[in-house]
Structures are given as C-alpha cells and as structure tokens.
Structure 1
Amino acid sequence: MRPPLKKIDFFQGDKVEVCSNEPGFLGSYYEANIVSRLDNGLYVVCYKNLLEDDESKPLTETIYPKELRPVPPKIHTTQFLPYEKVDAFDNDGWWVGEITGRNGSHYYVYFTSSNEEIAYHYSKIRVHHDWVNGEWVLSNKS
C-alpha cells in the first residue's frame, strides 16, 4: 500500500513553479508567486516571466494545487555529466532533458518530448530534482 500523499499549503508571496498541461508545453514548469489561496482551495498565481496577451503586465492565473510545486533547491554548478538529467531554461520556463555533449561553456541538452537537441550556456541549466510525495528528490541519470 502506498503512503498517503503529503498535502502542501502555499501562502501569499511563496515562490512556486506551475506545471503546464498545454499541448506542446507538457512537462514544462514556470516560475510564479502565490497571490492568494481561494476558499475553494485553488491558488491565484502571478508568473515571473509569462505576460498577459497584451504584454502589459505579468500573467495571473487560477491554478489547482496539483499543478504547483515549490521552487526546487539550487545546486550551484558549472559542470554537468553526459546523460545527466537536467532542466534547461527556454521559452520562459524550465524543460526536462538530458546532457548529450559539451562545447566550452555550452552543453547540449536532448529533450525526449520534442526529439530536439539544443545547446545552452551552463547558466541556463540546473540540476534536475523530482517532486515526490511532498519532498525534493535528487534525480540522477534519466
């Protein structure tokens, strides 16, 4: 029998990441701040990098709790290993991929979701963590 899932509450001002369920963006995460928690248990978030359609201000959305997670812990590094699972920052969000090569300070990241390999400066890559049952787990190789 699996242990019950831990429920996490977020509070106004908490930094979070929001999982996208949109076609073509599935599995990507976007940085946001909690604006409020509604009486029905949903959260209002304000995105750090996504803008309203008219680009006049940051996008604000109402989100289900299951689409939220805290910001993962930071591991400062400039070195990544071949086949290491990482997150790369692109198109205003974090995308899961794996290291396939290196050229100086740039690493090639392969994304199974799109079958693409893209080079990123190491500053746009972070060590991947999985959010499992209310805790961050360091993800080794994919």
Structure 2
Amino acid sequence: MDEFVKGDKVEVCSKEEGYVGSYFEAKVLSKLPHRNLYKVKYKNLVTEGEDPLPLIEIISADELRPMPPKLSQPLTFHRDDKVDAFDLDAWWVGYITGRRGNFFSVYFETTNEKCEYSLERMRRHLDLVNGHWVSSATRHHLYS
C-alpha cells in the first residue's frame, strides 16, 4: 500500500452506494497519526450551502490511489475498450459499446447504464498492479 504525503494528488475510490466504480480527484492535506487515514480535499466536490468550499473528508488509505499518469489521448477508442469517462465530477470505469459521430457509447457495469461521451471526457483505463500503472489491454494480454 502506498504512503501518501501532504500535497500528493490522489484519486478517491468511492465505496458509497451509487458511486462504486468512480474515482474522485483530490489532494492529500495530511496523514492522521493514529490510523491509516488521510485528510483529503476534493478537486471537484464542494460543500453544500450558499458559499460552497472544496469538500474535505477523512478517507481510509484503502480508498486512495495515486493519480494515474497522463497518457497521450488516443485518437479513438474501439468496441470493448475499457475506459474511464468523466461524469458527475468523477471518473467512472466502463466499456465502449459503440460510436455515433464524435460520441462514444460507454456501458457501466456498476450502474447498468449506457451513456454517450465525447473523446475529451474519456481516458484510457489503467489498473494499479503491484504499484505500477498497467493498461487494461496490456494487462489482459499479460494475464490471459
């Protein structure tokens, strides 16, 4: 398990019902001394009320992962490619099921929904395997 320090950019892997399979961008504010907990400030989530501020939460270490590396954006995606689509302030893991013009249909197993996204709102899905980022396509090839 990774140790994070103040200022590290991370993704919070939500375990809340309705948000399983989503990753929210955040920054580590501190590690709590008594447990494997971190205080994080979300990039896109804010507090409720008239003057919303970035949401700050205490998160268990097992819900954090380092930010995946920025890869060059592919020119296109193909059917069955595993991707992350940006929606509702988070990255969601899904599979390409089709294409209509400049939009791609993405199916999400966790919510059993299909939505359309432009290329700008998607990225290649990467898995964190033994501390290394691996393309799901490569991983499938390596481990099948």
Higher helix proportion = 2
Q: Which residue is equivalent to 2:21? A: 27
Q: Which residue is equivalent to 1:132? A: 129
1:86 and 1:42 mapped to 2: Cα distance?
A: 29
Give the paired residue count: 136
> In the alignment, is the contact (CA less than 8 A) between 1:78 and 1:123 conserved in 2?
no
Say whether 1:109 aligns with 2:109. no
Among 42, 45, 50, the alignment partner of 2:45 is 50
TM-score by length of 2: 0.88
Among 53, 58, 63, the alignment partner of 1:67 is 63
2:31 and 2:21 mapped to 1: Cα distance?
A: 24
Query: RMSD between aligned alpha carbons?
Result: 1.5
1:134 and 1:66 mapped to 2: Cα distance?
A: 13
1:114 and 1:25 mapped to 2: Cα distance?
A: 9
Moved more, 94-103 or 53-62: 53-62
- Listed as ranges, the gaps of 5+ residues in structure 2 are none
TM-score by length of 1: 0.90
The residue type equivalent to 2:48 in the other structure is D
> In the alignment, is the contact (CA less than 8 A) between 1:37 and 1:43 conserved in 2?
yes
Query: Percent identity over the alignment?
Result: 50
The residue type equivalent to 2:67 in the other structure is V
The residue type equivalent to 1:108 in the other structure is S
Q: SS in structure 2 opposite 1:140?
A: helix
The list of structure 1 runs, each at least 4 consecutive aligned residues, that deviate by more than 6 angstroms after superposition, is: none
Q: Which residue is equivalent to 1:98? A: 95
- Listed as ranges, the gaps of 5+ residues in structure 1 are 1-6
1:56 and 1:115 mapped to 2: Cα distance?
A: 31
